[in-house]
Structure 1
Amino acid sequence: MRTVLVTGANGFIGRNLVATISRREDIEVMRIDSKNSLEELEEYALKADFIYHLAGVNRPENTEDFMTGNLGSTQHLINILSSNQKKTPILLSSSIQAKQENPYGSSKRAAEEAVLAYGHNIGVNTFVYRLPNVFGKWSKPNYNSVVATWCYNISREIPIQVNNPEAEVELVYIDDVVESFIDTMDAADTSSISDYRDIPRSFIVKLKDIEASLVSFKSSRHTLVISDLKSDFERFLYSTYLSYMPEDDFGYDLEMKHDNRGWLAEFIKTEHSGQVFISRTKPGITRGNHWHHTKVEKFLVIEGEAVVKFRRIEDEKILEYPVNGLSLRVIDIPPGYTHSITNTGTIDVITLFWANELFNPDKPDTYYLEV
């Protein structure tokens, strides 16, 4: 069993790291945050086999607090270990701002130098990550993350400010950060030198593109058209956006089109992967009796009993496929076949449909013809 200390455990990166690493049966996690005493820090530091030093400050009330919060807290941790001849590997979460000549950057650079010096002097591996902008769940909005702030504001229809839409920002995703941190810990004993580390994957994105994606995520609840999420960045950004939604606004209603047959509702639309919709059909009722030149569909009955019928439009032979909600069977609807689905049971039939293209009322590609 390895004992791991995480300072700054209640911060953005700390919470995500602890949530992941705590699931491992070979790890015991000790957590330190601003509420813990110096005595608790010393106790935990001397027990630890590996230390993630994530604690720090980036928006203090006074400029001099940068050094106190970043270098001072780091030096205090190192003094505890050094005075007790503890050779404990340390991973320090720093910032690309350490390259800048400003109070925050100078304090982060000083903390880096202290950690690396400790590793060199006492003969133990230490690791420094100069992180760019990190995004993902649990970051604090309206603080120091543009993604967190925009996700929070846009989901609540609060205006955002974009000073330079063409400006680019380098982003790393929180899951990639956590994975890299854990990989470094696992290989700490076999690493040959103390060094600077980078997150293997980052994204260079224009501010205007981030804004456009977030606005589309917001509007998708009304248009039902969701981004195809073709890139990892889009998938990660969408997950991040949802994590900042108001907790009283997770749900939204779909428009149900009622008629004598039951009802039908569109669920999800995509520009390149078609759309999904759902229907309820009363006993004895038939839907369909039409065909398509190019559009194709999939039918899946999830409740009730039905029969799907096909007929090639120039033939008389009718094909029948019985389906029911107890034995899920997907039925493909080829082009050139008129088709229908009839509720043959005593209860309403619930059916999921997928079509490979969005419905276009100007070009519906749907032609009535009895099966």
Structure 2
Amino acid sequence: MSGLAVTGAGGFLGWHLRAAMKESGTPVEAISVGTGFEASKATAAVDGSERVIHIAGINRASDEEVRDGNIAFAEQLSSALLAAATPPPVVVYANSTQATNGSVYGESKARAAEILAETASTIGAEFVDVRLPNLFGEHGRPFYNAVTATFSHLVATGESPVVENDKELTLLHAQNAADILSGAAPVRALEDLQQEETVSGLLARLQGYAELYDRGEIPSIAEDFDRDLFNTYRSYTFPAQSPIDLTRHADARGSFFEIIRSHGGPGQSSFSTTVPGVTRGDHFHRRKIERFTVLQGRARISLRRLYSDEVVSFEVSGDAPGAVDMPTMWAHNITNIGEDLLYTSFWTNDIFDPANPDTIAEAV
């Protein structure tokens, strides 16, 4: 086989990695570890793969479970690598910056790295030890994955979180982590891609986004970090805050309404007509923000989160304008369900680049 073999493919970072790989069409083979480990299946998954990425780990359990679990996962993967007839040329470990802090978790992550490094040496593979800081990203699990997920969930639901232990955080978006783990970006890029922020500063940013987005406005996303953090926040507002109601002003001359207010960063607007019964779209974006606004006619906008079967749909009309923002890593399309020509406005936060379109085909 070719492609990637990945442990922890069903977790937060694993989901982001699989979403990222859709852009290049790289297949991802999941490897179960822990109680679900099956030696023959794991060996078959790594045999002939281009790269093995070890993401699976335990960080929330008793000290004994954390220590034994992280080491056991590495040993299980190691046994599969050693048994493979054609082992991968690259073994990547999603390690943690906590590997050197002396905690039980850190020591277990460090020991797992040693096990995989020794195995990589034995099979003649390159070993890539990626020490990841605090990760954030779309659809992180509140009260579990990271403080960003918890804050985003609370702010999106109208709560006012309190910072009890303000400290400096080093933050990295999960899509950037996916690029590094997959080799799409070099490990040395980690320093430039991560962002320093305090816990209180993080909360203030999210609350600032919420204040504007509650009115349907886009905050300043001139910096990549703000774009990624805002996309993370938006994932906790969907679908509850969609569609976004737009105020329509009408008189004898016709009608007028604002489509978008953006507070900073690039942007591009476009317009389309669609004949009855036709569907446009069927793609997703990894980082791009996109807004659909029906100006005239009737449409159904449908969205599906990657690796989910559930479809969320909205029926919108130019008679009562509403905008729908496409969450990142959700496939989406728009269908003319009326009898007349459909007029639609599209806005994105970046100027289209054919060499880097961030528009990946995916049927809803």
Output the TM-score relative to the length of structure 2. Answer: 0.65
Q: 1:137 deviation in Å?
A: 1.4
Aligned counterparts of 2:151 and 2:243: Cα–Cα separation in 1: 20
Aligned 1:206-225 pairs, distance under 5 A: 206-225=198-217
Greater relative CO, 1 or 2 (CA 8 Å, sep 6+): 2
Change (3 A) 1:206 1:121: same
The answer for the alignment partner of 1:227 in structure 2 is 219
The answer for the alignment partner of 1:80 in structure 2 is 80
Q: 1:42 deviation in Å?
A: 3.5
**Gaps spanning 5+ residues in structure 2: where?**
266-294, 297-342, 346-364
Aligned counterparts of 2:50 and 2:126: Cα–Cα separation in 1: 12
Q: 1:50 deviation in Å?
A: 2.3
CA contact (8 A) 2:95 2:131 kept: yes
Change (3 A) 1:71 1:225: same
Aligned 1:1-80 pairs, distance under 5 A: 2-25=2-25, 27-33=26-32, 36-39=36-39, 40-60=41-61, 62-80=62-80
Change (3 A) 1:153 1:122: same
The answer for the alignment partner of 1:340 in structure 2 is none
Q: 1:41 deviation in Å?
A: 2.3
Aligned counterparts of 1:272 and 1:172: Cα–Cα separation in 2: 22
CA contact (8 A) 2:48 2:86 kept: no
Change (3 A) 1:30 1:84: closer
Aligned counterparts of 1:272 and 1:46: Cα–Cα separation in 2: 48
State the one-letter code of the partner of 2:111: A
Structure 2 residue 99 is the aligned partner of structure 1 residue 108: no
State the one-letter code of the partner of 1:31: A
Q: 1:46 deviation in Å?
A: 3.7
CA contact (8 A) 1:131 1:198 kept: no
2:75 partner SS: helix
CA contact (8 A) 1:257 1:264 kept: yes
Change (3 A) 1:126 1:351: closer
Count of residue pairs the alignment pairs up: 272
Q: 1:84 deviation in Å?
A: 5.3
Aligned counterparts of 1:240 and 1:267: Cα–Cα separation in 2: 22
Superposed CA RMSD:
3.5
Q: 1:55 deviation in Å?
A: 0.9
In percent, how many aligned pairs have the same letter? Answer: 26
Aligned counterparts of 1:181 and 1:37: Cα–Cα separation in 2: 22
The answer for the alignment partner of 1:153 in structure 2 is 154
Structure 2 residue 160 is the aligned partner of structure 1 residue 168: no
Aligned counterparts of 1:93 and 1:175: Cα–Cα separation in 2: 13
Post-superposition CA distance 1:118-148 (Å, at most 9, x none) = 2234432111111001111132221031111
Aligned counterparts of 1:24 and 1:226: Cα–Cα separation in 2: 29
CA contact (8 A) 1:168 1:204 kept: yes
Q: 1:20 deviation in Å?
A: 2.5
Which protein has the larger Cα radius of gyration, Structure 1 or Structure 2?
A: 1
Change (3 A) 1:351 1:67: closer
Aligned counterparts of 1:142 and 1:351: Cα–Cα separation in 2: 39
